[in-house]
Amino acid sequence: MATPIRMPALAQTSDELRLTAWLKTEGDQVAEGEPLFEAETDKAELEIEATVSGTLLRCLAGPGETVSAGTVVAWIGHPGEDIPQVIPGAAGPAPRLPATPAARVLARAQGIDLAQVTGSGPGGRIERRDVLAAMDGAGPRQADGEVTDVVPPHRRAIAARLSRAAAVPQFTVSRTVDARPALARAAGLDGVTLTHVLLQAAAAALRAVPHVNRVWLDDGPRFLSLAHCHVGLAIAADDNLIVAIIPEPDRLGLEELAVTTRRAVDEGRRGRLSAVFTAPAAMTLSNLGMFGVDRFEAIVDPDQTAVLAVGRVVERPAVTADGIAAVPQLDLALTVDHRTVDGAAAARFLAAVCAELER
């Protein structure tokens, strides 16, 4: 029986993706794991791999179409195999507004909802000129020195996720750690910074406290325990916030991890994250130390369980074996989803992070 290929639900991205290009055509042979099509979210452009091997029998969505996660976009099977007309448990596709590709591209770039645009083309089709007219009505307005503008799609996506996060019960635990061992570990290694040591410590803590390496799912509800200890890394880029998932950082050497992280940051800032950097992860590391921030608390992504917020290294007076001395210290704040993690587990996890940093 032919296998449906669905638009994947990707962590840290919006619930809708725009199919930008097919990398195979109908009738082509496809191998499992081979790139099948390219899709774009409000944050990144990704290559989506085939989940099975076979012949690409039918493509159901064309380039430029916006598709909800979980929607069937293609069928793969044997040549001549019948394709089911009805997919059990699948909702029918939402009606698509008639619009030219140029109108869709412009509307997406300017944050214009096509449902609010009146089409002037044949059969009510929305033309590029219609979107331009809508921009005149919804574009920048200035009065008494104040300017209002349409919120771009990526900021709306961030706002939507943060609004979802506001409904999640969260709490924060914090500790101050002696940063000398972690700084010493990074010193002298090519491209290695404190961030890489922190990524390793977070992954090791996930292994030590597996209750944190799971996420809450509303359907059921139920817990999804993750098979790998991946850690998200928050990346600031051009009025945008990208989270790249670093695969099991504690399994890599620090210099290898630095190379992997640099690639993820570069791809994230270009808006083209590879699939390897979009895997599910239970937690994210957010480091604002390079911006001079001493300490802060971050918000847990609604699809994750925890976020570790890290400030800058500050020298403070501390009691040492040699008496009172200035010691480089680091403030850590762990915020967790209280539905998944209780106070004791959060404390154990943060203690495990600190133990890794101070060893």
Distance (Å) of CA 266 to CA 201, 274, 327 = 23, 11, 34
Structurally, at CATH architecture level, domain 169-358 sits in 2-Layer Sandwich (3.30)
Residues of the chain with CATH 2.40.50.100: 3-77
pLDDT for res 43: 60
Longest dimension (CA), the chain: 84
The pLDDT score that the predictor gives to residue 321 is 86
Say if residues 228 and 203 touch (Cβ distance below 8 Å): no
Q: How far is CA 30 from the centre of its chain?
A: 27
- Which residue, chain included where needed, has tokens 């590709």? 101
Give the pLDDT confidence score for residue 97 in this predicted structure.
Answer: 66
Intervals of CATH 3.30.559.10 along the chain: 169-358
Please list the residue range(s) of the chain that carry CATH number 4.10.320.10: 101-143
Q: What does the pLDDT profile of the chain (359 residues) look like in tens digits?
A: 788 898 886 644 456 788 888 999 999 999 988 989 988 776 667 788 888 999 999 999 888 888 887 888 999 999 988 887 655 444 444 445 677 767 777 777 777 777 778 888 877 778 888 888 887 765 555 556 677 777 777 787 788 888 989 999 999 999 999 999 999 999 999 999 999 999 999 999 999 999 999 999 988 899 999 999 999 999 998 788 889 999 999 999 999 999 999 999 998 888 778 888 988 899 999 999 999 999 999 999 999 999 999 999 999 999 888 899 999 999 999 999 999 999 999 999 999 999 999 99
Whether pTM > 0.85 for this model: the answer is no
Tell me which CATH code domain 101-143 carries.
Answer: 4.10.320.10
What tokens were used for 314? 């500050």
- So what's the pLDDT on residue 96? 56
- d(Cα 49, Cα 58) in Å, to the nearest integer? 16
CB 81 within 8 A of CB 26: no
CATH fold of the domain at 3-77 = OB fold (Dihydrolipoamide Acetyltransferase, E2P) (2.40.50)
